Amino acid sequence: MKLISWNVNGLRACVNKGLMDFFKESDADIFCVQETKMRKEQADFTFDGYHEYWYSAEKKGYSGTAVFTKAEPLAVTYGLAVGLPDGTSEPDSEGRIITLEYDDFFVVNVYAPNSQYELSRLDYRMAWEDAARAHILNLDKQKTVFMCGDFNVAHKEIDLKHPKTNRRNAGFTDEERGKLTELLDAGFTDTYRHLYPDQIGAYTWWTYTTITARENNTGWRIDYILVSERDKAKIKEAFVYQQVFGSDHCPVGLIFK
């Protein structure tokens, strides 16, 4: 099975920048995208040969996820099966998580909330993380889980170019990193780091605010594909497609036996 994940930062814009070339060339069994910023009915393009599942945010032009899959799933769930612990926020209005069930596994496409400037949304992010982890662990009790997407966090110092100067910045706080550690410790494997534990420069996002960031590979690795730890021996290959443009993120991929 070949699984691809890509934060496209606007699906229509990315299609106009060559997404379809990569989509056809990669020939993935399952292709997950984040930050679609659109609704399906707005699309003037099709993903031939694939079943399409879209989860758009209530707010127009914001967030959103979609999955394109060759094999029709048994079931599709939109949003989190559990609410946020604080009971004050609706977790399913931003189109952040789609779950597809197949005979032997689940695929969960995730676009984690950004903690924002001055960490104004960190508390919401922490509550969302707890709810998402509860959702994932419930699935993992049933069968293998693949969790992919933009996690909006660089886990270790090796996962961003300038860790020292980014401490306490959104995406590299102890709180955000701790939530990913908690998820991994609960029984999941970072597929890329499983194969390439010491690989530096394997970044998946580069800020648009610095013109030369991507050219100089001054980036962050914030896009992941995780798998249930008990199945890590079946990881055949993992990819970071830095040569693929069209977004401020690049795609990541997995081949699984």
For residue range 55-70, list pLDDT tens digits in order.
999 999 999 999 999 9
The predicted structure's pLDDT at residue 93 = 83
Active site (annotated) includes residue 223? no
pLDDT of res. 81: 60
Could you say which of 50, 102, 150, 248 is catalytic?
Answer: 150
Q: Is the pTM of this model over 0.85?
A: yes
Identify residue 73 by its one-letter amino acid code: P
The arrangement of strands across the sheet holding 105-111 comes to: 75-78, 97-101, 105-111, 144-150, 223-228, 188-190
Annotated catalytic residue within 102, 111, 192, 203:
111
The Cβ-side half-sphere exposure at 15, using a 13 Å CA radius, reads: 13
Give the integer Cα–Cα distance in Å for 165 and 171: 12
Spans of the chain, pLDDT less than 70: 81-92
pLDDT at 114: 96
Q: Please, are residues 250 and 232 in contact by the beta-carbon 8 Å criterion?
A: no
Burial of 149 (0-12, 13-18, 19+ CB in 10 A): buried
Helix (H), strand (E) at residue 183? helix 174-185
**Cα distance between residue 129 and residue 114, in whole Å:** 11
Strand pairing class (105-111; 144-150)? parallel
Q: How much is the pLDDT for 80?
A: 84
* pLDDT (0 to 100) of residue 103: 98
- pLDDT for position 85: 54
Give residue 91's pLDDT: 57
Q: Do 112 and 96 form a contact (C-beta atoms < 8 A)?
A: yes
For domain 2-256, give the CATH superfamily.
Endonuclease/exonuclease/phosphatase (3.60.10.10)
Residue 241: active-site member: no
- Which strands form 51-55's sheet, in the order they lie side by side? 51-55, 65-69, 30-34, 2-7, 252-256, 235-240
